Structures are given as structure tokens and as C-alpha cells.
Structure 1
Amino acid sequence: MPEGDDDHLFQKRRGEKRKLTATEDKHVGDPAAPEVLYAGEEPNMAVLRKHLADAPRYPIEALGSEWPYWTADAARSANAPVDYVAHSLLVSAAALIGNARWARLGGWFEPTALFGANVGGSGSGKSPAQDTVSDVIHAIERQMQADADMPQQMRAWKEKQHIAAIKMKLYEASVKKALKTGGPMPAYPDDAEPTPRPVPPRLLLDDVTPEKAQTLLAGMFRGGFSLHDELDDKFQSFTRYNSNSAKFWLQTYGGRTSKADRMSRDSASVEYLTCSMLGGIPPENLAPLLSARANDGLIPRFLWACPDDSIDTIEIVERPDAAVAVARLSRLASLPPDEDEDGRPKPVFVPVAREARRTLIEAAQRWRQQSRGHRGLYASALNKARGQALRIALVLELLEWSCTDDPEPPREISLRAIEAAAGLMETYYLPMARRVFGDADAPAEAHAAATLAGWIMERRPASFTVSDIRNRRIGGLRETQLIRTAIRILAQDGWLGSPEHDGSVGRPEERWFVNPGLFTTKH
């Protein structure tokens, strides 16, 4: 049956091969059928909120002087809340900068890596909104690979391999002659060893094992970007591969040196292990995810976007010019790193401007004090906020620079960027963390009732049974008892009316009628 076929949504039940009675057809298609009593004067719409705190507004003005316009246009084209685009842009920009720049305040350093999650159900627009940014990232990666001229690199590499093989044979022949004649041993040629095969430049890491990721990142000084449409698969991989998987991805947030010792191969050492992460999560998967990962330190490091599904009017709007975003963000991807005394790349450490230090320190102290009044994930998020604010400030500074003609990147993090980053944490990301973590603490019954209520508002059925919900696994609801509990909650809140026999042959089943006032009154 087509997903959107509402007219025949419940007309065919499992195991039934009979025509619907006229009464049933009326129940399915006519919102006015039959006379039913509903609790209260009007339905309680708060059940939709799953015990969520109010969603804060994303202050896109924090993105600088030019990016807010592109972000708003991209969100309109995706018919999605602007949160998803702005959030994806911030995390993606951090990934492009990577180890080319680190933020510094005195002896406190933060790598440019962010973990972000877009929380939203089917139809929320989170995927098309994220795609407006991820498509730009893919375009930048393709351009990097084209500029690298891999065919020419491969030809040069094969030539070196051929020369190295010949020199090795000549060396071996010289050694044999020296051993035979007693003459002096020849010097080992420096260029007789095979060199590593050229690897196309890349930004993105696919669904790879930690071992493979470590190997790839060893050749990616800037770091990587673990970009996913749905983060569920990434989190499931933490147990699919090995017990240290979560630990590895946690290390990629810190930018520290990592060395993987292997039995049969050379060790893969990464001087600055850094990788940003971004993806979507359906709200029904949020509670079990947060519960399963409550103690490994990964979840509090995520920044969350979980806006209300408030886009009521569908618009046909073209995406903003991708070439503009590609040109701007390519400047971030091409930022040159510094070099150490041995000529190896290292980050450029960008200090906080003197006049901006007090603002960040006061915010950090405020968040630390607030953390003492909380427990669990939100307390951990408050303790991570100062580091996130410093990282975000550097990203905002460079995002603003990307829109200018100035060839010289900023040499310090300005007061404007620090204030904007602290404001983002204070007014959006910390309230959003509390909203997300509060939802995770809500009872399963509240989640089920909210899921069922959301489906009712979206599909507007006149009536349904427990079997209808269970068999279609609406919103992931499968357990009969949980569905019945959700129905009772909605009945008490005036959403559903008194049940009656559904007219089917055999064991009678309760049929619940949806309050038509849900669709005729503006709530």
C-alpha cells in the first residue's frame, strides 16, 4: 500500500478478506462519524511535547555578516527550520579547518573539531537541510581531488617504484660481488625503498572501522569529517567493531597523539588525531541512545539541534548559489598549517584577543557554577561548554573571514567572535542540550503518547485500533501494552473518544475515534 494512501489506510486488516461495512467505511473516511464523548473541553496539545523544554531560537546572526543570508535561504529551500542548516554549517566549517588552526587561551588549547546531531522525525526536514551543507562539502572534496591531478601523481609514483626496484637489484648484485671478492660493501641507496602509493586527498570518512580510520587519518593532517544522514549506524558501530570503538572516536575530539600498534603491520601514528562528526537522529531513537552512552563521555561533547517542527507552509524555493558557499568554505579547507623544526605540519595556534579573554572566562565560570546544581548528562554538558565555546569562536572568526577578500587569515580570535560563541552556547546549545536530555529522561509512556499524537496530527485518521498501530509500527510502536497506555493517555487528554466494537468478525477489538476538534481549532 502506498505510504500516503490515507483513504485506504485501515481498510485492509491482517488476516481479513472481506468487504468493509458501510459503518466502518464511515468511520474511516468521515471525521464526523459517530457520536463520541471526549474528555475535557478541548484536547490538551502539550502531550505532543514529550516533556521537552521549549525549543530556543537559533541566533543565525551569530554566524557573521554574510552567512545568515545564505543559511536562511538554504533553510527555506529545504522547507526546514533554520537550526538544521546553521548547525550543519558550523560543524562542517570546523571539519574543514581541522588541524590547520587551533584556538588558544594562555596554556589552554582546543582543536577545531565539533560533534553535532540534528534531531528530527520523518518530515522534519533535517535531512534536506543538512544536505544543503553536505553537498557543498562533497563538492569541495571533489575539487580537491581534481586539483591533485591523481593520474600524474600515479605516473610519477610508478616511475619511482620502477627506479627503486632497479636500484635495489643493482645494490643486491653489488653486495653479492663484494661477498664473493672480499671487496668493500656498497652503501645502501636512499631511494631504493618503495614509497607509499599516492592517496587522493579527502575530507570525509565513511563507515570505517577505528583501525581503518586511524590509517586514513595518519595521511590526513587536517583531520577528517564523519558525515552521516543518520548517526544511528555510527553509534551502533561502537559495539559492532570492538569495545574500543567509542574510545577511539572520543579521542578524535581531543586532537591528541595516537599510535596503533599492530601485530602484522607497521604502526599507524597520528600526531593530531582529529575528526568532526555530524548526522541526524530520529527522536524515537534518542532515549535509548542517550541511555546506552550515558557514561562514556561522548554524548556531552555533542552539540544538538532539535527544533520544533514549525514549518507549516511548503514553499518552492531554489537553493542559494552553491558556488558561493563552495568558494567561501574552500578558503577554510585550504588554510595552510604551520611547520615544526623538522618541517612537519603542525597547527597554527590562534590566541584569544586580550580584550575578549574576560568575556570567555566569566562565561566559563558561570557554566561551571551552574553544573554544580545539576547531575548526569546536562551537568557534563555544562562542564564541556567552555571548550565548545572556544572552538566555536575560532570557527565563527574564520567563517566571517571566508566572506572577505582579505588574503591573510585572522591572527587572533576577536571579542565579536567570543561574544557570539558564548551567546550561542548560552542561548541555544545549552538550552537545547537540556531539552534533548530532558526528553531522554521522560517515561517511555510519554514518548509513546507523543509519537502517536504526532502521527494523528500528520495523517488525520478518523479512527483506529491497537492492531492498526502495531501492525504498521507507526513511530516504531510495536508493544501492545505500550500502545494501549499511549491511547489511554491521549483519551484522558481529550484526543480520543470512547471505544466501541469495530464490527469485525470474531474477537471484538476496541476502536478509538479521533477528536475532530484537533483539526478544526488552531492550537
Structure 2
Amino acid sequence: MERFLPLALHREGHSMQSANSRGRMQPIAVAPRVNCRSSLSAVVGTSTRVANTALSKRRCSRCRAGPKWRASMKQWWPPATNRRISRRPPHRLPTTWTTTSRFKPPRRSGGISLPPVTLFFHAESFAMKTQQDNLSTALALASAGIKIFPAGADKRPLLKGWQEAATCDADQINTWWDRSAALPAIPCGQNGLLVVDCDRHGGPDGVEAFKKLAVANGGLPRGLPVVLTPSGGAHLYFKQPNGEALGNGRGTLPQAIDCRGNGGFVIAPGARLPDGRGWKAVEGRVPINKAPPLPRWIEAILRPPQREEAREPNNNETSDERGRAYAVAALKGVETELAAAPAGERNERLYKTAFRLATMAARGWLMESEILEALVRAAEANHYLREHGHRATMKTIESGLRDGLDVPHDDLEDRDDGAAHASSGNGAGQQQQQHEQPRQERKQRQRETGDWNDPDMSILDDRRGELPDLPIDVFPRSMHRWMREAASGAGVTVGHIALPLIGIASGLIGVARRVQATRSWQQPMTCWTCLVGLSGSGKTPSLDVVKRSLSVVERSRQQDNAARQLAHETRIERAKAALKKWKDDVAAAVDAGQPPPVKPAEAADVRPFVVPRLFVSDCTIERLAPLLEARPRGVTYVADELARLFMNLERYSGGSDRAFWLEAWDGNSFVVERLGRPPVMLPHLLVGVVGGFQPDLLARSFAGDSDGIYSRFLYAWPPEAPFREPADDADETDPEIVNAFGRLASLQAGDDDAFAPRSVPLTADARREFAAFAEFAHKERQFLDGREREYWSKSSGHVLRLSGTLCFLEWAWSGGAEPVAIEARHVGRAVHLWKGYLWPHGRAALRLVGLSDKHSHSRAVLRWLHASNKTTVSREEVRREALSRRLDAGEVQALLDLLVRAGWLREVTLKVSGPGRPPRRWEVNPRLFEVPL
């Protein structure tokens, strides 16, 4: 312990000095984060030239240390008057620069004078060297059998599902580091490691605290791997103890000390940040793949205490009503309790809270689903979810739930104010002074979530519930025939047709028309719409019905686009001719000694022609940018499954894609930066989004969403349509909808060179109608929280967009003069559609966000058993066929145990002849096949 602690003495910010012939210390050129006796060229690359450097003569100006100095990137430009800098000023990092210390060097004992030190530094070489060093570190760890994955400079994983993605495969690692500069990270659970993280962030000193703790408990194993972190802290590596692996947390460790175990990760030793700082392994220690076992005294601190005994039961066991009231009161205080947790204790507090509430669920006082939702909301409120990500948060919560379900809560004291006692913030946690009771008696009270005769139906719940049908009267009566026939022809409900119709119609209008609520408040008409439903529930057929008509409109515009292309090519040739003439005029003016003429506007470069598109189905942001230039009013993104877009917003772009899509709903100006090409400046960034989500993918797409992208959607979760015999009720493309889409796509808004959106105001009656709804929305918002509150906060904007879309859709379908104002009936219909249909469907969809993987995997297994008519099943069958190997054997076993507790499975013993253990199989509850899925 003593050997590694003093090494944190040399912090960043030290400058390098050398003694001149008069004995004074003067600054010399420095390099990023280098040890004195290290080879300078090995750190900053082949572009460094060091001439006769006497490193042993150098001294740190702050600590006077000789061979153990470090120089920081911040000291590239030390404030010294005797420094000569070549090529560029110091306020900007140049591609190449040199610096020479101007002093007369000291003489050695042999009388030989050393020339001045000269450093030649190339910034790009240093960046490439840093990336190469991180790759080399990753490959070295992988060759030692340690699984790794890439993390960013902010120490956040660059991959979703990083625990499953971690690998020792060299080809995969090279692919990761070819794509981006990253830090190698070690998932602790997958490598059987537990890392004690001692922090030094300006608060309590975790290093000193752990040092004292180790001395008090008999010290640490010899050769313990220790890694010094950039902040001056330390990572201590141990093997996980036998038995159940330890997760993240700190138990009763002092502040500023945390542990990373199953579900956590650390940055690997040898990793380097872009500024040169890094994680350095202390020399003379064993490698981390040979880390010593975790000492028992640390394990005792980290393990949650096993309550072997509890107080005696009361004469009358706690009633379900009283227990429910007690538990609900405790549940309501969760958010306040977790909000008060200090930053370093949030993970531990989250686990303990989940454990405590799970003990109440084991008595039947709470549902696991409501505990999960409350804890996710609380983690969102105290920013734990944002900092650690959805997967790590769910791991911590599920770990607490799993452990707590094995320890049912004790009976409440026989008192009148039991519920009030629970609401005091920590009421449920204050039941620590207990009377004794044998553990076996308490085990008899343990509640299964279901039994063989009454299995837990909540696992099959897809969170939809009973939802209202579409009020078709909000659409013009002239459209009803087509909507019903189109739904019948596609084998879906009218609700399946309505939302894609709204989304595509509003996307065709785009920002060409804006709803003007007040002089300062305008909304584009584009609505983002999505259908929610399981695969095969009718999302794709209903989307195709509307998209086919849109494709017909786009094909009908080919002749116009060809004419535009010819005109554009003419402009290009005209610009070339004007440019040639201007160059000739400039040459003639120079020869005549006259001022050259100014370049005329007609000689400016003309960008290549881009065919205007009404919609795209798979497109990158770099490709969308020129399409939006070609059609400034907006483009619509149409996709059967929107999860492929929203699950990957931060995978490769570092979050820039998310910023693009946030602005794409509002229609404001935006600049799209493009690598190696000029940026595209869009006065109006507007992209409509129309598609579908499967329930589980919706939950994963918006898990941890803190910027409210999910609140920009209009959701519909229509029921599956009953079987109908095939009928010729509708044509493949109906002329009425094709003509309507054509009118909307052709709305005039200036010309191609001067796009000018038009505002459509509300009539006086419409304004009063909207004001009444806005007042209602403001009052209702006070009774909502979490995602529902965020979604409801967008209700006024959604109603304005819907009213404009319904107004112009009625005009496009019926013909006549273009509307100059939006009437009260359109606002009233939009309000009715929002309150009576879209809001309840949206609430049901948002209940999916935060749904645990355990719930979705359990439902997937039961659906697979139902579809395949399995009466018995093995663990490997479930893993291979139902879950497509997404989980390992241990995780599948935990899932089967949950289904046993829920009453859907029970283990059966098979007789085998001969030696060996009998195979493990589980019988499927016959009631599963009585449930319609």
C-alpha cells in the first residue's frame, strides 16, 4: 500500500526547468505527460527530435523532483520571456511547431558543453500515437484472456450492450479502434474481477481512507495489482469471491471508495486520454489476470447483511390492506429518498431501496412492476440514469429486487399509525429493532408471485390495457369511405390507417404552411406518428396502404424534376461562362495596371443537382442535408420499424445525431457539419417521421431518454383486426388520396431560389377554442409527473399541428380555394382526437419505456412456448430457440426460476438408466394455452 500511494504526488501542471551556467532555473520545451527517464520520442512519435538531452539534469519547478517529473499539455506554452516559438502564435494548437530553450547549457565534469535542447512536435502524430497506444493496450489485454470493449474519453461505453459485446477477439478490437479513438475498458463481471476504486476528486480522500482501513484489517495481499488514475486516485484489482459474484456498490466502505463488480467496468491500465494523461499500472505487481482473491474482510463489508433472524410475529398477521397502505406510503417516498443520496452513494442507495421494496413485494403488498417504474423515475430524477445508462441502472435495480424477494418483510407492529410511520421517508427501513423469530418460520411466509393453479398473468401483460377506438368523425366525412375500405382491404382497423395518413399528409405540407397561434407563436404542421404493436399485428400493411399512394405522387413528379435538372445544368454552364469571362477581365485589368473587377454573382459555383424527394426510408444525416436543400419545406422519413433509427442515435456520432433529430421536429435553422466537405446550412430543418414500433423495441429505443424525443410522437396502439375473408373492397391506389397528396405536395411557398413559408392564423372562434384547451392542459399538468408530464406538456403543440393538418387535409380531399385561416371546428376536432384517442394511447406506449429486460424476456419465452405448443422444455432450448442466445446459461436459469415462482413452469425429474445426473426439464402450465396471445 505504501509503495503506490506516494506516486500520486506528481500531478499535472508541473513545468520543466534546467539550470543554466549561472545557476538559475529556466523553462525548457516540454512534451505531453512524459516521465523524465522515458524516451521522449516513444511518447510523441517520430516527429520528435531530441538533441543531446541530459535528462538527469532536469528538475521539476514545483516539487524539485529529478527523474520522476511529468509535464502536462497545459504547459505547452509556459509564460517565459526567453521562449522563442516558431511558425504560429500560442493561442492555437498548430499542426507543427518547434521550440528552443535559449540558455547556455551547463558543462559536464569532462568539460563538454551540451547544445540547446530542441523539440519538434507534430500534433497529428501525437493523436495517432495515442490511438495506437490504446489499441496496443487493448490487444495486449485480449491476448492475456481479458475481455475488453471501447469507452469514450468521458468514460462512457461506446457500445450498447457492452457487457455482451466485450471480447478477446483481435479482429473485432481492431475494427473498433479503426472507427474511433477510444479507451480500452474492462467489464469486471465478465472477467471475474472486483475493482476497489479509491477517488480523489477534491472531496474526501479515498486513497488515504482505504489505506487506514487496510492497516486496521491486517493489510492487503502481496503483489496486488494497483493502477493509478488520471485524477490521482487508484484502482485495486481482486478476483471475485467464490459463490455469488459481487456487483457494484460500496457496502459500509468510507466515502470516496466504491467497488466495480458484476455489471460494472473500469478503464484498463495503459489507457491514455487525448491530453496525454492515463491509467498507469504500478510496477512490480502481478498482472490483473492473476489478481489475488478478495480478502474476506472486504467481502464482509460489501455483502448485504443476511437477516438470519426476525422478530416474532404478532398475534394477528398484517392484513393485506394495511400492508398495502404501508408499502404504498414507502413507495411514494422513494424519489425524495434517492434525491437526497450523495453522488458517491447513489448506486448503493438504489440497490438498498430496491431490496427493501422487494421484501414488501414478497408479502404481496406491492407489484414488482410498480416498484420498477418508481425506481426508474427516481433514478431519472437524481440523474443516476443519465450518468450510468439504462442497462447499468436496471442491473442494480433487478439485483436488489432479486435479493429482496428472498427475504419477505416482517409483520408490521400492532399500532394504529403504521401507514403514517411508513411515510416518514425511511419508515420501511426503520424496522430494524426486531424481536427474534426462527428463519424457517419466516421462510414459510414467503410469497410466490403465482402458483400452478393461479399463475401470474402480469408477465403476459403487454401494458396496452383497454384503449379507446379511433373517433373517425374527426376526419372529413368525404374521407370515411376510403379509410374504411383501405382498412378492410389491408386486414386492419381504421385506427391503423389514420395515423400514417396524418403523418404523411402533414409531412407533405412541412414548413410550407405554419399554424399561427399568436404573432410570436407558430408551429409547423408536421406530425411524427407511430403505430405500436407486436410483429404481425398489422403495422406494415397499414403503412403500405398510405405509402403506395405517396410513391405514385413522387413518380408523377419525375417529368417536372427532369425539367428542373435541365434548368439547373443550364445555370451551371452559365456560371462557368461567367467565371471564364471574369477571369479574362481580371487578367486584362492586371496587364493594363487597372483594379481588377469584382467577381459577379452569376459566376459563383453552383452545387450539383439533387432530385427533390418526398420521402426516404433509409438515409443518413449527411444524405438528408442535400435533400432538405432541394426541398426546403421538408422530407418525410418512413420506416416499418423506427427502432433501427432511434436505438442508434449515439452509437457512432457521439450524440450529434440526437441534436439533429431534436431540431428536425421544430423546423428551425440548423447547420449540418460534413467531414471533408462544406457544411450545409438549412434555414428550416424539418423531417417528418412515420413508422412503427414493437413494444419491446419502443422500450429500448427511448430508455434513458432525457431530452424528450419520445414526447414528439403521436402514438396509436390499435387492436388486431378480426379475421376477414379477402375482398376487393379497395383498389391498390385510390385516385382520391393520390390527388389529395398531390395537392399537399404542390403547395406554393415562394420559388426554388427563395423559399418563403406562409403562416395560417386561427380565426377568432378557433383561438378561443384553443385558449380553452391550453388552460385545461395547464391545469391537468399539475397532476402528472415523469414522462407523462413531459408528454402532456407537448399537448398544445400537438393540437396546433393536428388542427392545421386536418384543415388542409380536408381542403386537399375536397378541392376548392386554399384555406386562409384555421377554423374552430378544426381545432375542436384536434382537441377531441388528442384527448379521446392519442393521449390514452400515448400513455400506454410510454408505460413501456423503462420496462425491464427481465419482463420482456419472460414474455418472449411464454409466447414462444405458446406458439410451439411445448409441454416440457429444457434450459438450452429456451436459450437457443426462444431467446436466440441473447442470454448466457446463468441468466436463462434465473429467468426459468422467475417463471417457476410465477407459476408458469415447474421442474420435473426424469428417470434415466445408467450413471450420470438426470437432465433438467421444466413442465409448462397448461393454462398458458388457454390464454389468447
Query: Which TM-score applies when normalising by structure 2?
Result: 0.47
Aligned to 2:861: 452
- Deviation, structure 1 residue 264: 5.9
Question: How do residues 11-26 of structure 1 correspond to structure 2 at under 5 angstroms?
Answer: none
- Deviation, structure 1 residue 276: 0.9
Letter in 1 for 2:527: L
- Kindly indicate whether residue 900 of structure 2 is the aligned counterpart of residue 468 of structure 1: no
Aligned to 2:828: 419
Letter in 2 for 1:277: V
- Kindly indicate whether residue 645 of structure 2 is the aligned counterpart of residue 234 of structure 1: yes
1:215 to 580, 602, 626: 626
- Deviation, structure 1 residue 147: 3.1
- Deviation, structure 1 residue 186: 5.8
1:104 to 516, 521, 540: 516
Q: Is the contact made by 1:502 and 1:511 (CA closer than 8 Å) also made in structure 2?
A: no
1:379 to 789, 798, 823: 789
Letter in 1 for 2:910: H
Letter in 2 for 1:270: L
Aligned to 1:92: 504
Letter in 1 for 2:782: R
Alpha-carbon distance in structure 1 between the residues aligned to 2:655 and 2:891:
32
2:527 to 95, 114, 119: 114
- Deviation, structure 1 residue 69: 3.0
- Deviation, structure 1 residue 179: 2.9
Q: Is the contact made by 2:452 and 2:925 (CA closer than 8 Å) also made in structure 1?
A: no
1:455/1:292 CA distance change after superposition, 3 Å: same
1:264/1:468 CA distance change after superposition, 3 Å: closer
- Kindly indicate whether residue 865 of structure 2 is the aligned counterpart of residue 438 of structure 1: no
Secondary structure of residue in 1 paired with 2:814 = coil
- 1:276-318 deviation per Cα after TM superposition (whole angstroms, max 9, x unaligned): 112222222222222232x02211111112234x334253244
Aligned to 1:63: 475
- 1:296-352 deviation per Cα after TM superposition (whole angstroms, max 9, x unaligned): 2211111112234x334253244733132212211111111258xx98332221122
Q: Is the contact made by 2:740 and 2:813 (CA closer than 8 Å) also made in structure 1?
A: yes
1:359 to 752, 761, 769: 769
Aligned to 2:589: 178
- 1:250-281 deviation per Cα after TM superposition (whole angstroms, max 9, x unaligned): 10111112234678654422222211112222
Structure 1 gap ranges (5+): 1-37
Q: Is the contact made by 1:119 and 1:306 (CA closer than 8 Å) also made in structure 2?
A: yes
Aligned to 2:99: none
1:348/1:492 CA distance change after superposition, 3 Å: same
Secondary structure of residue in 2 paired with 1:362 = helix
Alpha-carbon distance in structure 1 between the residues aligned to 2:747 and 2:610:
20
- Kindly indicate whether residue 536 of structure 2 is the aligned counterpart of residue 126 of structure 1: no
Q: Is the contact made by 2:514 and 2:525 (CA closer than 8 Å) also made in structure 1?
A: yes
Letter in 1 for 2:801: R
Alpha-carbon distance in structure 1 between the residues aligned to 2:460 and 2:630:
48
1:81/1:265 CA distance change after superposition, 3 Å: same
Letter in 2 for 1:299: Y
Q: Is the contact made by 1:445 and 1:482 (CA closer than 8 Å) also made in structure 2?
A: no
Letter in 1 for 2:755: P
Range with greater deviation from structure 2 (437-446 or 357-366): 437-446
1:177/1:159 CA distance change after superposition, 3 Å: same
Aligned to 1:201: 612
Alpha-carbon distance in structure 2 between the residues aligned to 1:155 and 1:120:
46
Alpha-carbon distance in structure 1 between the residues aligned to 2:589 and 2:907:
101
Q: Is the contact made by 2:508 and 2:745 (CA closer than 8 Å) also made in structure 1?
A: yes
Q: Is the contact made by 1:148 and 1:200 (CA closer than 8 Å) also made in structure 2?
A: no
- Kindly indicate whether residue 550 of structure 2 is the aligned counterpart of residue 141 of structure 1: no
Count of matched residue positions in the alignment of Structure 1 and Structure 2: 479
1:504/1:50 CA distance change after superposition, 3 Å: farther
Secondary structure of residue in 2 paired with 1:134 = helix
Letter in 2 for 1:472: E
Aligned to 2:39: none
Range with greater deviation from structure 2 (502-511 or 252-261): 502-511
RMSD: 3.2
Secondary structure of residue in 1 paired with 2:515 = strand
Alpha-carbon distance in structure 2 between the residues aligned to 1:522 and 1:178:
87
- Deviation, structure 1 residue 404: 0.8
Letter in 2 for 1:269: M
1:449/1:64 CA distance change after superposition, 3 Å: farther
1:47/1:73 CA distance change after superposition, 3 Å: farther
Q: Is the contact made by 1:148 and 1:201 (CA closer than 8 Å) also made in structure 2?
A: no
1:519/1:265 CA distance change after superposition, 3 Å: closer
- 1:149-207 deviation per Cα after TM superposition (whole angstroms, max 9, x unaligned): 41x44444444434443443344334333333446856755533443333212122454
The structure having more radius of gyration, on CA atoms, is 2
- 1:58-80 deviation per Cα after TM superposition (whole angstroms, max 9, x unaligned): 22332221333323333333333
Letter in 1 for 2:543: Q
Question: How do residues 216-295 of structure 1 correspond to structure 2 at under 5 angstroms?
Answer: 216-239=627-650, 240-260=652-672, 265-293=677-705, 295=706
Aligned to 2:462: 50
Secondary structure of residue in 2 paired with 1:233 = helix
1:323/1:183 CA distance change after superposition, 3 Å: same
Secondary structure of residue in 2 paired with 1:278 = strand
Higher relative contact order (CA 8 A, sep 6+): 1
2:602 to 174, 191, 195: 191
- 1:400-446 deviation per Cα after TM superposition (whole angstroms, max 9, x unaligned): 2222131x122222222212111111122211221122233444433
1:456/1:412 CA distance change after superposition, 3 Å: farther
Identity %: 27
- Deviation, structure 1 residue 486: 5.2
Aligned to 1:34: none
1:350 to 750, 760, 764: 760
Letter in 1 for 2:854: E
Letter in 1 for 2:807: E
1:44/1:170 CA distance change after superposition, 3 Å: closer
- 1:116-155 deviation per Cα after TM superposition (whole angstroms, max 9, x unaligned): 22222222121222111122222222222x13141x4444
Aligned to 2:718: 307
